[in-house]
Amino acid sequence: MARGDGRLSHELLPGEKGPQDECGVFGVWAPGEDVARLTYFGIYALQHRGQESAGIATSNGEQILVYKDMGLVSQVFDDRALQPLQGHIAVGHVRYSTTGASAWENAQPTLGPTAAGTVALGHNGNLTNTTELMEMVQERFGKDLRGELGRGSSTDTAVITAMLGGTARAGERLEDVAMEVLPLLEGAFSLVFMDEHTLYAARDAHGIRPLVLGRLDRGWAVASETAALDIVGATYVREIEPGELVTIDADGLRSRRFAEATPHGCVFEYVYLARPDTRIADRSVNASRLEMGRVLAREHPVDADLVIPTPESGTPAAIGYAQGSGIPFGQGLVKNSYVGRTFIQPTQTIRQLGIRLKLNPLREVIEGKRLVVVDDSIVRGNTQRALVRMLREAGAAEVHVRISSPPVKWPCFYGIDFATRAELIANGLTTDEIRASLGADSLGYISLEGMVEATAIPQQRLCTACFTGSYPVRLGEHATISGAEAPSVPPTPATTGAAQ
């Protein structure tokens, strides 16, 4: 592994406590190409998925080097950092922490030994059976992963890395080891990993987090989003299927299925997480957000003078609302593009500071106007509360808030920063009570049915747990909801429901 000072080593620095992390992963197999630079641009395109740390691992066929550090991709990497990363295979990762520490030890890719070499791994998602996996490894193989992992990177990622390396028998191929290990993992995982000669990509049986395959002139690329393929000039081929392991080496591309597919893609990817220029399940994210805005205009009309977005993630839905309502669209807020997403900062103090740094109203546009302010979601309510106050101070006559997702009432155990029910403003409050808390003249959320309709994906193929409490994947005995034990068996996926 390597720190930002350019020192390269090969130690495994895994960790004790597993965060729920929303991350971006990228991998490339391309002999004759500068794979480190391709990966740099790939994870640069995925920067929105994680802004705390970035890392790249490369293999030249004989050894794997990893360089990673805290910060944005452009802060971690320069020519000096990229130059030693030579080879024909690379894996890249961007991360932000939620329940785990924001520290260098938690940066990815992780690195570990195998029976035949080394494995470097990047993970997007969150496992729900990490403790059980550690116990299983100790029982089956006599390995105490708690002792081996010690300190360092997020537990679920480190456990996967240790299982791929530590459970292998002498001479066994990593591909075959992965086919044994992957069916044991529960929760959400989109993995890109490699050994000295081969690139691998795998996606959990529910396909909760996105993962796509692209073709380069002289190789292949895999990425969390199609936008990353576009940036590096790769042609989109298809999604990595839920329950699929893809192997890419000198013999070409092979596919093996380690679990039966039961798709439940995260609907919040369409609402907020993914870039608008990405396609998920062959559906444009931008088109979905535009349609959410049109549906929102039908479901919650209001007399107003101007529709403005909370930039940037609220912009497509605001355009859709303006189209659906006939109310003019305008830019009433200026965003500082150099401030990170407030939603993904690791502490409440930084979130509140970030809101003030991030947005500033255009008084000449909004003064005296009745405004419809469109945003993608309300999680804690801090952004919207500060925003309504700023707009009123700037002279807005009325402020009507419209949200292109339903109320977020349940925590996510599959990799998004909804840590506890206590943090969620919609938990226990009516819509009118939330409106009063925000200081808005009116508040309207899109319906669950309207949001799902806008994705063009059947609801039974989507995870809507953060809105409904209906979890498609077993949460595990150690997962908790507001201090209470979570269900060990998931409720049957349904349009509505609650964790018991």
Output the six-digit token pair for 362. 């255009």
pLDDT, residue 356, reads: 61
Whether 249 and 299 map to the same domain: the answer is no
The binding site for [4Fe-4S] cluster consists of: 266, 412, 463, 466
- For residue 221, what are the β-bridge partners? 28, 214
Q: Kind of pairing, strands 244-249 and 252-257?
A: antiparallel
Q: Are residues 184 and 51 part of one domain?
A: yes
Asked, for residue 495, whether it belongs to a domain, the answer is no
- The predicted-structure confidence for 422-448, as pLDDT tens digits, reads as follows 888 999 899 999 999 999 999 999 999
pLDDT given at position 426: 94
Residues of the binding site: 266, 313, 375-376, 412, 463, 466
Distance CA 245, CA 326 (A): 48
Q: How long a stretch of residues is the chain?
A: 500
The predicted structure's pLDDT at residue 106: 74
At 119 the pLDDT is 95
Please tell me whether residues 212 and 68 are part of one structural domain: yes
Does 345 lie in the same domain as 259? no
Output the domain CATH number for residue 363.
3.40.50.2020
Catalytic residue among 1, 2, 23, 479: 23
Residue 23 annotated in active site: yes
Q: How far apart are CA 8 and CA 27, in angstroms?
A: 20
* Residue ranges making up the domain that contains 187: 24-263
Residues making up the annotated binding site for Mg(2+) are 313, 375-376
Judge if 243 and 329 occupy the same domain: no
Point out which residues pair with 360 in neighbouring strands: 334
CA pair distance 102, 107, nearest whole angstrom: 9
Phi, psi of 282 (to 5 degrees): 60, 20
pLDDT in the model for residue 149: 56
Domain limit, last residue, from 229, 263, 297: 263
Pair of tokens at residue 278: 């990405």
pLDDT tens, position by position, 196-241: 999 999 999 999 999 999 999 999 999 999 999 999 999 999 999 9
Residue 453: inside a domain:
yes
166 and 308 housed in the same domain? no
Task: Give the best-scoring range by mean pLDDT among 15-19, 143-147, 267-271, 413-417.
Answer: 267-271
Residue 86 domain flag: yes
In a domain, 6, yes or no: no
Residues contacting residue 464 through CB under 8 Å, at least 6 positions apart: 267, 448, 452, 470
pLDDT tier for residue 273 given thresholds of 50, 70 and 90? very high
> What tens digit of pLDDT does each residue of 159-197 get?
899 899 876 666 789 999 999 999 999 999 999 999 999
- Which residues, 6+ apart, have CB-to-CB distance to 468 below 8 Å? 410, 448, 494, 495, 496, 497, 498
Domain annotation covers residue 303 = yes
Please, which pLDDT band fits residue 465 given cuts at 50, 70 and 90? very high
Residue 489 located in a structural domain: no
- Which of these, 189, 55, 185, lies nearest to 111 by C-alpha position? 55
CA pair distance 433, 427, nearest whole angstrom: 11
114 within domain boundaries: yes
Left, alpha or beta for 71 (phi > 0: left; psi -120 to 50: alpha)? left
Same domain, 320 and 257: no
Looking at residue 103, its pLDDT comes to 63
Q: What gap in Å lies between CA 198 and CA 192, rounded to an integer?
A: 11
| 493 vs 290: CA distance, rounded Å | 26
The residue from 202, 234, 263 where one domain ends is: 263
Q: How many independent structural domains does the chain possess?
A: 2
Please tell me whether residues 119 and 240 are part of one structural domain: yes
Q: Is the domain of 334 the same as that of 382?
A: yes
Q: Are residues 207 and 291 in the same domain?
A: no
473: Cβ contacts below 8 Å, ≥ 6 apart: 128, 186, 187, 188, 204, 206, 208, 264, 413, 414, 490
Assess whether 231 and 293 both reside in one domain: no
- Amino acid identity of 101? A
Tell me which of 215, 230, 263 is where a domain ends.
Answer: 263
| In a shared domain, residues 32 and 69 | yes
β-strand partners of 124:
190
In this predicted structure, the answer to whether residue 98 has a pLDDT above a threshold of 80 is no
Q: Which CATH number do you get for residue 161?
A: 3.60.20.10
Whole-angstrom distance, CA of residue 124 vs CA of residue 193: 12
In a domain, 164, yes or no: yes
Q: Do the Cβ atoms of 15 and 100 come closer than 8 Å? A: yes
What does the DSSP 8-state code read for residue 339? Answer: S
